[in-house]
A and B are shown apart, each in its own frame.
Chain A
Amino acid sequence: MEIKNKSLKLLTFIIITIAVLILPHFISTYILIHIIDTLLIILFAVSFNLVYGYMGELPFGHAAFFGLGAYALFLPVIWAKVNLAYAILIGICVPALYGALVASLIVRLSKIYFSLCSLAFGEFIAILLWSFRETGGDVGLHLRVIGIHDMIPFYYIVLAVTVVSLIILYRIVNSPFGLAVQAIRDNASRAKSIGINVGRYKKLLFIISTFFLGVGGVLYGILFSVVHPRYCSWLMLLNPLAGTLLGGAGSFIGPIIGTLIYYNIYWIVSENTIFWHSFTGALIIGLITFFPQGIMGYFEARRKARS
């Protein structure tokens, strides 16, 4: 099934591009919202994979930055009547700033300690936002930025932002910086001995990851017009985590494919039954036990075996 012909490849690319561009005019708003949702979860999964796959640590509390992006957009608009454009800027910057704080505290930890401390700092945000009435408390905040009829233009905005972000992230992980980070993942002491500043590289990667999570979170908040402390809790991480595991952590395209497949199945499941937790849970268990390399890892191994 491999497409060897270059012009055929180009043709496929053009067809997909046109299909994606004209798609919103042929489907109902309900499905369109799901598609925008999927795009943002893909951005989430790829940013998450930056730390999980490329740095080799599980950032269990990463959802906090996603939710924080939405909160940092909503709070200034609701309480200080800040102009929306500035609010979006705040919404993108605050998660990265908190990410810098968290990164400086936890990059020296590794493996399980990293995961648990990341979780703690993430849950801290969720609890903080949950416990004050000014931040919406238990109910969350509501802010209508776009109406239900503006979904088609919004789709194009999200598509553009996601694609540009993915291209930037792709360039980052394949830059000398990205390769250095992968070297640290594979052998930290060796990377250190050839002069890579391990702590600083890890910190920078973590901050980049949280920055794009903030971007995704802002758009997510705008899409659904609400934010809730649950957006910051680790439960929000389950879908990107399952998508990343399915597609294969450590490859760039893996989380994108995995999330595309997983999130649509998840959508169908969660529309039809309240027992979607066990679907996600069973999938995560199966993947981590029997298929830890994911789809892309599987193809990679097969290609290596053939050559």
Chain B
Amino acid sequence: MLEELIIQALYGLSKAALLFLIACGLSVIFGMLNVANFAHGTLYMLSGFFAISLIRILGYSEVNLWMMLLALGPLCVTFVGIAFKYILTASARGSPEIIAVNSLIFTIGLAMIFNDVALAIWGADVYSYPKPSLLKGFILILGRMFPNYDVFNIVIIVVLGSILTFLFFKTKTGTVVRAMAFDERTASAMGIDTRYVSLIMFMLGSFLAGLGGAIGAMVGEVNFVTWEKVILEAFVVAVIGGLGSFRGALIGALIIGLTESYAIFFFSRLGPGVGWITMFIVLAVVLLIRPQGIFGGRF
């Protein structure tokens, strides 16, 4: 039983990796620009589509697969993300609170348009991204088969989590970002080029969402409604951790990933939506205790 619980925890970590990749950008962007980007799930979806289409054009070699997965797919959506950033900042006016709600409505519209763009280009078919051969097999953990793909996800969350934590909390750039998230106006008065920094963070957030999309496309299929599910998960994670908080996104992703994994393990006979239901129950509990989220107000 204990082994089973550990294996489930590992699956939860793997799930948490994807959640973290998408929620991190969402949360950090909200902290810096006060923009609740509902079109963030679109970036995830588009990255999967880009990676799949590019691999069809360039051919299914091993190097190509890795390149699409880690670089080209996410890079393509980074450019889409830059476009989003300029559209959003150009249209934002009013106090921060009003910007937040209006940008939510605005980005819903954006997401709806991209929903149709994806439908027009890729149709209503379901696509899947082939795994590189290294991620195809299994390894033995505690005498059980554990997919390489999930090991890769765990490596991703550990590596990226530590790199980003180091970046945000130990370097000068990180201090600038945290200062901006704390108070954009004062940061600007101190001589920080806030537009440049927020552009960089928007690119980073889009790249991470794109990475999540390309990785997610290997197991879950991609079609033009993928973003609806993804953005909901991302918002739940971000709200649990505290909107605008990087550590919150990390902790929120871990909490949701682990509880979902255990809930599916123990209560899977209740139906296919059991993971989602526990996710919302966790959200309700967190909101009752801490309405601002676990790391609310802190980066």
Contact = CB atoms under 8 A, between A and B. Distances in A.
Interface of A: 58, 60, 105-106, 108-113, 115-117, 119-121, 123-124, 127-128, 130-133, 137, 233, 235, 238, 241, 245, 274-275, 277-278, 280-285, 288-289, 292
Contacts of B199: none
Contacts of B270: 131-132
A113 B228 CA distance: 19
Query: Which secondary structure dominates chain A's binding surface?
Result: helix
A292 B93 CA distance: 11
B276 interface: yes
B5 to A, nearest CB: 24
Contacts of A117: 239, 283, 287
Interface stretch (B103-111, B145-153, B204-212, B248-256): B103-111
Taking each of A110, A116, A132, A283, which has the highest tally of chain B beta carbons within 10 Å of its own beta carbon?
Answer: A116
A60 B36 CA distance: 13
Nearest to A120: B283
Interface residues of B, number: 42
Contacts of B271: 131-133, 137
A116 B36 contact: yes
A281 B112 CA distance: 5
A121 B102 CA distance: 20
Query: Which secondary structure dominates chain B's binding surface?
Result: helix
B232 to A, nearest CB: 6
A123 B273 contact: no
A285 B92 CA distance: 12
B62 interface: no
A52 to B, nearest CB: 10
A58 B235 contact: no
Contact of A127 (B108, B119, B243, B280): B280
B222 to A, nearest CB: 17
Contacts of B259: none
Contact of B280 (A115, A121, A275, A284): A121
A116 B280 CA distance: 12
B277 A128 contact: yes
Contacts of A278: 112-113, 115-117
